[in-house]
Chains A and B, each alone.
Chain A
Amino acid sequence: MNMRMIAVSIATLILGWDGLSASQNRIHPEFDLLDVEGYKVIESHNPVSTMKTCGQCHDTEYIDSHSDHVRPQQRVAYEFESPDPGSDVPFDADWLKTYGRRHVGGGPARELGFEMNCFLCHIETVDREAMMGEMRRERFEWAVTASLGRTGLVARVGDSWIWKRDALSEQGRWPIDRIALRGPTDENCGACHGLVHRGSAPLVIPEGNPAELTMTLRTGSIFSGQRINDSGISTVSKEQTIRPWDVHAERVMRCSHCHFSLNNPAYSLEIAATRPLHLRFDTRRQSFSEYLHRPSHQFARGRGSMDADPSNEPVTMRRCETCHDAGPMHRWLPYPELHFQKLSCEACHIPTSPMAAVREIDWTVAGADGKGGVRYRGIEGEWGDPNAHVTGFQPVFWPRLDEDARTRLAPFNVVTTWFWTAGDPPQRVSPAIVAAVFHDGVACRPEALERFDSNRDGVLSDEELILDTRDKRDWVAARLTDAGVVNPRIEGDAQPFGIHHGVMRREFALCECVSCHAGESRLYADLEVSPTAPFDAEPALRRTGGIGDAGRIVRATDGRWVARMNREGDDAPEFYVPGADRNAAVNRIGIGFMAVVVFGVAVHGSARIVTGRRRRQ
């Protein structure tokens, strides 16, 4: 009853908020675009300043000061663009010129002139190419203005931008009726975070930099309500795959419905850890006007896969159970509580990924673009090629310490980064040095071709660029030593990524008992980590995102590296799956005992028969 009350209250609030966002366009007033001095840009012809413009009503200093989006996220940055996402790259103009595409500005970038770009998330058509162009030219103060390039409010003239008076409203203000300002849509989030899709046009992998699809690359998740069989991705048995890519997207939920602004009065919900025991729902809320004045731009988030120490990160995300009552829907399931205790919701509701994901990023070699090779799992063919056959993959199940301090099996993908290290303490070798081994800046070096071009077509393809033999590895190591690298050696960094999107509803979830309760248990299935590991290199698993010791990367009997749940030894977690787990010793004892009995009975019985006959004779 109490759960229902909460649900109703939450629903009411959500409804209230959604109503607001639907009519937001009518609410948001027209406003003057101001430059950094506070003058109207239409008169000063200067770049727009969001701090001043939006600051007319919103507390932009507050917004700029606290959001994770504002801080450059080197830690989660771009394993697809650098072999060294973890170290302290200084935040400077060079950083922005390289990664600024995915940075919202503000914070430290503000000192360079790149203010927080509110438009990136609050309007529909953002010109990120133009924005990036200005940053490459180190005209950071123009970056925000350039991102309005597709709204028609500004036009590029030669090297600069001019404001279009006739595109503005009669009073020379932002034409709110034509260019809406509203809360972030899935498309805004998807621009940096992963593949999202809405509408009836078939979903395809967009052209351009795949690195922008981080969620999709790391976990294979696509946030779209489109049915897989209606999409443009050639998945296996596509015609039969009638489920949507994500049931929440299908049911018209948006990214911001779960990753809400933390002080949004409609959503703000105290997490279990801080909530007083007697209180399920605190009706005291911040007013909407207060919220609109100082909207928190810190969004609810779950335990990040890369969070090293779970306790350090505030977990503000709802778990499935906050909205869902699993009880009534799982009446068919024997031992529901036991299952809930051992399995995360994701384990059954995201048991497979229909989409491919990254398996390895190999910085030990370098392609023509100077970058390492990216290898995918679950796809036969090139990523982004509409003809490629997407087979998807089955994630590995590992116990995960979740947001509510429960350790339950959850699905993971593992992305392994291979790279050269040198020196002591080891430091990662710059990809430029590795690239120089293979390329002289113009073409492939002939000695590299000689060793790697196995099909002799004069080009080094991704398949050929693998250090799979001692010769190849030693050759590259020798070239690196020649280039001044001390004692180069290969290391592998295996990063687990929890899969939380791409949820299937019950019809498609894992609900056959024997999927898990059988010899070939789904729960204990291996995930291939690296069939093409560099010679003699070992991937080291990062224990982040709540993975305990139960997650292991081991060498399978055929020599491949696989991700597996540790089931042997004292530190193995307590998992006993009837049907899948058996104590071999007990079985041997039992069968032996039975055999002795049967044997004894047979001997005794035949002796009786023989002696009985003899007596009768």
Chain B
Amino acid sequence: MKRVYMYSFHERAWHWMQAFVILVLLYTGLEIHLPNRLLMCFNLASRIHVAFGFIFVINAGLGLLYHIFTNQLRQFIPEPRDFFSASIRQAVFYLGGIFRGDPHPFEKSPDRKLNPLQKITYLAILNVLLPFQLVTGLILMSAHFWPSLIEYAGGLALLATLHTLAAWLFGAFVIMHVYLTTTGHTPLSSITAMITGWEDVEDGHRKN
């Protein structure tokens, strides 16, 4: 067991910022989807949704730049070598080893924060879901200035429906993500790390 400085200040700030923005977007999006049933009024919700949408875009862009320039992008890229077996090993751990108190199959380190399963998930979220949501959201927003753009993009009904579907998936991801943070060394160690930057990780393991 050792303490590792896992997340830099920038990473942590970015993460919490994005977490907050996503939660607000989910809530206000739900409010727009089902008006008059939640706390906020439609008018305010739609304004906040648009504003936070912009913040989300900017934040995502800044995050991307950060990862590119700090050369951290590779963290997200799965290693092709024994990728499948590694993923299966990780899945098997979640389905079995974790109950027996087995050590994690992959050691978490500042250079390798993500296990193979996480890599796939993040790859999907960051490369598919997030850009998709960004694009549909931006097109919907663009109607403020170029209402015809929506028609080219397939119509309001289609875009709004897809945007909604993606929002549900995002919601599911958030739940899953929060739960999986408890599968670290101790239930709270990952969350603590994302707050303070320091994480207790198991030491003396084999490396793969």
Question: Is B156's CB under 8 angstroms from A574's CB?
Answer: yes
A442 at the interface (CB under 8 A from B): no
Shortest beta-carbon distance from B168 to chain A in Å:
2
Shortest beta-carbon distance from A415 to chain B in Å:
32
| Given A335-B147, A589-B168: A514 and B35 interface contact (C-beta under 8 Å) | yes
- In the docked arrangement, what's the CA distance between A182 and B150, Å? 52
Question: Is A574's CB under 8 angstroms from B157's CB?
Answer: yes
- In the docked arrangement, what's the CA distance between A581 and B171, Å? 20
Question: Is A579's CB under 8 angstroms from B156's CB?
Answer: no
Q: How many A-B residue pairs have CB under 8 A?
A: 110
Question: Is B101's CB under 8 angstroms from A612's CB?
Answer: yes
Question: Is B169's CB under 8 angstroms from A601's CB?
Answer: no
| Given A574-B156, A574-B157, A593-B172: A608 and B99 interface contact (C-beta under 8 Å) | yes
B residues 11-69 in Cβ contact with A at 8 Å: 32-36, 41-43, 46-47, 50
Task: Tell me the nearest residue of chain A to B95, going by C-beta.
Answer: A604
- In the docked arrangement, what's the CA distance between A611 and B99, Å? 6
Instruction: Please indicate the chain B residues that have their CB under 8 angstroms from the CB of A29 in the complex.
Output: none
B130 at the interface (CB under 8 A from A): no
Instruction: Please indicate the chain A residues that have their CB under 8 angstroms from the CB of B183 in the complex.
Output: 608
Shortest beta-carbon distance from A80 to chain B in Å:
41
B175 at the interface (CB under 8 A from A): yes
A518 at the interface (CB under 8 A from B): yes
Of B33, B98, B175, B182, the contact of A594 (CB 8 Å cutoff) = B175
Instruction: Please indicate the chain A residues that have their CB under 8 angstroms from the CB of B35 in the complex.
Output: 513-514, 517-519, 579
Which range holds the interface residue count of chain A?
A: 35 or more
A587 at the interface (CB under 8 A from B): yes
B152 at the interface (CB under 8 A from A): no
B81 at the interface (CB under 8 A from A): no
Question: Is A594's CB under 8 angstroms from B155's CB?
Answer: no
Task: Tell me the nearest residue of chain A to B156, going by C-beta.
Answer: A576
Question: Is B164's CB under 8 angstroms from A338's CB?
Answer: no
- In the docked arrangement, what's the CA distance between A305 and B105, Å? 75
B161 at the interface (CB under 8 A from A): yes
Instruction: Please indicate the chain B residues that have their CB under 8 angstroms from the CB of A590 in the complex.
Output: 164-165, 167-169, 171-172
| Given A513-B42, A590-B171: A576 and B155 interface contact (C-beta under 8 Å) | yes
Question: Is A579's CB under 8 angstroms from B150's CB?
Answer: no
B100 at the interface (CB under 8 A from A): yes
A598 at the interface (CB under 8 A from B): yes
A171 at the interface (CB under 8 A from B): no
Task: Tell me the nearest residue of chain A to B150, going by C-beta.
Answer: A338
Of B42, B47, B147, B161, the contact of A586 (CB 8 Å cutoff) = B161
B residues 146-179 in Cβ contact with A at 8 Å: 146-147, 150, 155-157, 160-161, 164-165, 167-169, 171-172, 175-176, 179
Instruction: Please indicate the chain A residues that have their CB under 8 angstroms from the CB of B157 in the complex.
Output: 574-576, 581, 583
- In the docked arrangement, what's the CA distance between A168 and B171, Å? 88
Question: Is B144's CB under 8 angstroms from A514's CB?
Answer: no
A residues 563-595 in Cβ contact with B at 8 Å: 574-576, 578-579, 581-583, 586-587, 589-591, 593-594
Instruction: Please indicate the chain A residues that have their CB under 8 angstroms from the CB of B145 in the complex.
Output: 337
Question: Is A518's CB under 8 angstroms from B42's CB?
Answer: yes
Shortest beta-carbon distance from A348 to chain B in Å:
15
Instruction: Please indicate the chain B residues that have their CB under 8 angstroms from the CB of A576 in the complex.
Output: 155-157, 160-161
A605 at the interface (CB under 8 A from B): yes
B143 at the interface (CB under 8 A from A): yes
- In the docked arrangement, what's the CA distance between A576 and B160, Å? 8
Task: Tell me the nearest residue of chain B to A594, going by C-beta.
Answer: B172
Instruction: Please indicate the chain A residues that have their CB under 8 angstroms from the CB of B182 in the complex.
Output: 605
Shortest beta-carbon distance from A21 to chain B in Å:
42
Question: Is B144's CB under 8 angstroms from A335's CB?
Answer: yes
**With A579-B33, A601-B175 already in contact, 12 other A-B pairs whose C-beta atoms are closer than 8 Å:** A337-B143, A514-B35, A514-B43, A518-B42, A519-B36, A576-B161, A593-B172, A594-B168, A597-B172, A608-B183, A611-B100, A612-B101
23 contacts between A and B (CB under 8 A): A334-B50, A335-B144, A337-B147, A338-B143, A338-B147, A341-B147, A517-B35, A517-B42, A518-B42, A519-B36, A574-B155, A574-B157, A576-B156, A578-B46, A582-B164, A589-B165, A593-B168, A596-B172, A604-B94, A605-B179, A605-B182, A608-B99, A612-B99
